[in-house]
Structure 1
Amino acid sequence: MHTTTTSPDALRVEMVERIRKAGHAQRGEVERVLRDTPRHEFVPDAELAVAYDPWQAVVTHRFEDGRSLSCASAPWLVAAMLDQLDVQPGNRILEIGAGTGYNACLLAQLTGRADLVTTIDIDPDVTAKASGALAATGYGDVHVITGDGGLGYPDHAPYDRMIATVSPWDIPAAWWQQLAPGGRLVAPLRWRGQGRSVAFTYTDGRLVSDSLHLCGFVYLQGVEDEGELSGPVTADELVTLHWDRDQAVEIDALRGVLDQPRVTAWSGITIASNESHDGLWLRLTVTDPRVCRIKVHADVPPEVCDPIGGWWRMALVDGDTLIYLTARRLETGDDVCWELGAIGHGPAAAKLTNYLCDEIRLWGPERNQRTPSLIVHPAGTPDSELAGPAIEKTHSRFVLTYDDVAL
């Protein structure tokens, strides 16, 4: 039940104002539909203040082990992805991941006809609740389909716009086939352990990005999402490594690596307490095929593993050596900042920690001002047609470049 006395309309106005101040909902039509749509009716079990918190996702379904199965994305991220999608009146739209039905409701308003929107989800409980919420808010003509989103929905193809609100590891073959030439696809993709919402235009048989946003999403469930591997590096399995299947990682060579002597190096590059360092990780996905992700349970003491704070942490593996990004607090008068560095274990730890600090110094002067372009080619595209080294997926070849030149 809702316990706050502030009206939904007032909270919605405040939510949109805060989102716009943060740089999202820049398209007038996106701002309009956010202002007009009663989000609380799609998350009826959430307090009003939570339903209209710009930064908070609302989990609506969980796996038996407690992991999130489905949720209503944080409103700022909904706005950012709708900005990326650039829906035009009359567009035919496919959404992968029905969630609560809220995003499908926004899409229906943006295209102007609810029957032009199809939303698909693998979980029948999710689709049943989304369908009910859409009908209750006047958008019952949206097509709500129970099925594997990785297979798309060919009955209503081709689509002018496709948006995934679950995170795929690859662009499934069906999405390539069902997206109209010149159409746009927005998907929270994963490569080298990190995730970005990427906006593409489908042109000349390839997908070319024009924006990337840092994000995290529930993973796509189904037959098309089996590319990320993981394994423990500690006996208690509280520290795990996550990598792509095209990477040369032998997890058996890394088990127990944290028991080896620790090597620490510092870069001299500092960031403010509220400053992102994620551009460093993104840059390394362009320049170094060894970069991946380490996950550290909260019970692990820092003397065992001490990565920089955050949900996802950058690591680098070379054979039987593991290094990861770390930070230390520095205080200079009234100012507090964090110096970035590297911690390593294994035979090549000294060499690789110094290497990572050199990369931090290269990234530091421009910080997050430079964003690479991601071009996705169909699998089988010859190397001669690529602008740089490829990250190999099942149906696609990802090529990241800066200023059209791979580093």
Structure 2
Amino acid sequence: MTDSSTATSTRPEHLREQMISNIRTSGHLHSERIEQAFRAVARHRFVPAASVEEAYANKAITIKPGADRPASCASVPTVVAMMLGQLDPQPGENVLEIGAGTGYNAALLAELVGPTGSVTTVDIHPDVTDHARHALAETGYGRVRVVTGDGALGEPDHAPYDKIIVTVGPWDLPPAWLEQLAPGGTLVVPLHWRGQARSIAFTRHDTYLRAENSQLCGFIPMIGIVPTGEQTGSITDNVALHWDVDQNIDPAALREVFTGPETTVWSGASVVANEPFDHIWLWLTATESGTCRLDADDEAIEAGVCRPAFSYRTPAIVEGDSLAYLTKPRPIDEPGPDGERRYELGATGHGPAAAQLAERLVRQIQRFDRDRAAQPVITAYPAGTADEDLPTGVVIDKHHVRMVVIP
């Protein structure tokens, strides 16, 4: 006969194994060391207000509400695993985390760098750092340094860092992060540009950063002194665009875009249900200076104003008074060789240049289809870098850096 108290005490461990299994199934768990760290750290002890079942579910858990979105939360476990895989912390390394949250990620980092390594985590909210400090001390990770401050400034007292991981969503890369990162070190950051957010694994090369790996993600926008350059504007009822300050996009020029010519072009490339195709957006940022995000409410879609692939987050190209967007995939009558129902990808254009823009977007769909794992290279140089000193690619000017996305 099983003692009820024993059954209760083992339940979190059982749920933790289920969480690990789900992360593995998602394809974001490639390291035995990271798997063991997830097994060693009790996530439910970092989110005491949540039930044990919620603590090990694959979802974010808010620990500090905000006015219109959470101010701080525990990230989705699959995203945590993905970013730790990009960071690849090694025993003995010195790691800085921007965004302390619950302290859970810092505990995983402490497991991965071991007793000879060190972890510093910074957060702008004093109540968040109080929570993290207490949770880390209670779970045996009191050696983690918890600092209250603006993460844009890093933490110079313990620099240089072998690795820096950012768990909030900045639009720009503050100079302190590059300055405090050791040569050859890794910066993993969920950066916003062209309407999307991707976790980028940068490597420091002397005075610039270079990345060959980025993954789609979503994080709470970073606050504090880090600048933002994201712009938003309505182009008709219930339809808006999101773009960057360095782009020549005028929503007023698009007020009548949905009443003019419309063209849909199909690519011949197809996906099955739930198969990701976010790399199309990434390739667009490497080839089209007018890449942005289309945000359409359900009311606009139901009224037939537009038919985007996703209601609130669909990549688009804008050029003057015309635009094209990734359209809702259409079902293919015959199933693919795997027997699953397939859906063809395409683009819909509106305005005088509707056909040309849709065809240009389709070219990037087809590029994605030729090698679905391929990605453009992403670099970041200090803002004062001259054009002739930048590599060839689409330049994205932020306040502190000049990003170049190289196809």
**Equivalent residues in 2 for 1:1-400 (5 A)?**
7-53=11-57, 55-65=58-68, 67-113=69-115, 116-234=118-236, 236=237, 238-302=238-302, 303-309=304-310, 312-332=313-333, 335-366=340-371, 368-389=372-393, 390-400=395-405
Secondary structure at the aligned position of 2:328 is classed as: strand
1:149 shift after superposition:
1.1
| Consecutive aligned runs of 4 or more in structure 1 exceeding 4 Å deviation | none
Indicate the larger mover: 248-257 or 194-203. 248-257
Structure 2 stretches lacking a partner, 5+ long? 1-6
Structure 1 stretches lacking a partner, 5+ long? none
Does the CA-based 8 Å contact 1:94-1:159 persist in structure 2?
yes
Does the CA-based 8 Å contact 2:93-2:117 persist in structure 1?
no
Q: Deviations over 1:22-76 (max 9, x none)?
A: 33332222111110100011122223233212x32222222223x1222211111
1:276 shift after superposition:
1.4
The number of aligned residues is 394
Does the CA-based 8 Å contact 2:91-2:117 persist in structure 1?
no
Does the CA-based 8 Å contact 1:114-1:140 persist in structure 2?
no
1:215 shift after superposition:
1.1
1:156 shift after superposition:
1.9
1:313 shift after superposition:
0.9
Indicate the larger mover: 42-51 or 148-157. 42-51
The aligned amino acid for 2:184 is G
TM-score by length of 1: 0.90
Identical aligned residues as a percent? 48
The aligned amino acid for 1:242 is H
Q: Deviations over 1:246-287 (max 9, x none)?
A: 111112222343344543332232221121121111111111
The aligned amino acid for 2:313 is W
Q: Counterparts of 2:363 and 2:283 in 1: how far apart (Å)? A: 13
Secondary structure at the aligned position of 1:301 is classed as: helix
Does the CA-based 8 Å contact 1:95-1:165 persist in structure 2?
yes
Q: Counterparts of 1:310 and 1:103 in 2: how far apart (Å)? A: 31
Q: Counterparts of 1:103 and 1:130 in 2: how far apart (Å)? A: 10
1:16 shift after superposition:
1.6
Secondary structure at the aligned position of 1:364 is classed as: helix
Does the CA-based 8 Å contact 2:235-2:251 persist in structure 1?
yes
Q: Counterparts of 2:300 and 2:131 in 1: how far apart (Å)? A: 39
Superposed CA RMSD: 2.2
The aligned amino acid for 1:18 is N
TM-score by length of 2: 0.90
The aligned amino acid for 1:124 is P
1:166 shift after superposition:
0.7
Q: What is the aligned partner in structure 1 of residue 3 from structure 2? A: none
